[in-house]
Amino acid sequence: MDAGSHAGPRTVFRLPVGPRLFGAFAVLVCGVVAAFLTAAAILVIWQRAWAAGLALAATACFVAGLTGYAARDLRGKWGLRVVLGMRALTLDLPAGRSLIHRPAAEHAEIAYSDIAALETRLEGYRTGGMAMMQRAYVLRHRNGALIFLFEDRAIGTPFETRLFARIAGEIAARAGTTLRDLGTVAGDGGVLGVWGTHAPAWGAPSLSAAQQARLWRAVAITGALPLPIILIALLLRLWTA
Separation in Å, CA 147 to CA 6, 11, 56, 76: 22, 20, 42, 15
- What amino acid is encoded at 58 in this protein? A
Q: Is residue 164 part of a domain?
A: yes
* Contacts of range 23-31, beta carbons closer than 8 Å, 24 or more positions apart: 23/70, 23/73, 23/74, 23/77, 23/78, 24/74, 24/78, 26/70, 26/73, 26/74, 27/67, 27/70, 27/71, 27/74, 30/63, 30/66, 30/67, 30/70, 31/67
Q: Are residues 160 and 43 in the same domain?
A: no
User: What is the predicted pLDDT for the residue at 100?
Assistant: 87
Q: Is residue 187 part of a domain?
A: yes
Q: Are residues 139 and 216 in the same domain?
A: yes
Query: Of 97, 135, 134, whose CA–CA distance to 19 is shortest?
Result: 97
Q: Are residues 69 and 150 in the same domain?
A: no
Q: Is residue 48 part of a domain?
A: yes
Q: Is residue 99 part of a domain?
A: no
User: What is the predicted pLDDT for the residue at 229?
Assistant: 45
The total number of structural domains that make up the chain: 2
Query: Of 194, 190, 206, whose CA–CA distance to 119 is shortest?
Result: 206
Q: Are residues 65 and 123 in the same domain?
A: no
- Cα(8)–Cα(92) distance, integer angstroms: 20
Q: Is residue 225 part of a domain?
A: yes
Q: Are residues 35 and 128 in the same domain?
A: no
Residue 212, SS3?
helix
Q: Is 115 exposed, middle or buried (0-12, 13-18, 19+ CB in 10 A)?
A: buried
Q: Are residues 139 and 228 in the same domain?
A: yes
Q: How far apart are the first and last CA of the chain?
A: 56
User: What is the predicted pLDDT for the residue at 109?
Assistant: 95
User: What is the predicted pLDDT for the residue at 69?
Assistant: 80
- Cα(147)–Cα(34) distance, integer angstroms: 35
Q: Are residues 65 and 159 in the same domain?
A: no
Q: Are residues 121 and 210 in the same domain?
A: yes
Q: Are residues 133 and 180 in the same domain?
A: yes
Q: Are residues 42 and 154 in the same domain?
A: no
Q: Is residue 94 part of a domain?
A: no
Q: Is residue 177 part of a domain?
A: yes
pTM of the entire predicted model: 0.80
Q: Are residues 63 and 133 in the same domain?
A: no
- Can you list the residues of the chain whose pLDDT is less than 70? 1-8, 192-194, 224-241
Domain with 126 in it: 112-240
- Cα(200)–Cα(101) distance, integer angstroms: 9
Within 8 A by CB and 6+ apart from 155, the residues are 122, 133, 134, 135, 219
Q: Is residue 6 part of a domain?
A: no
Q: Are residues 44 and 154 in the same domain?
A: no
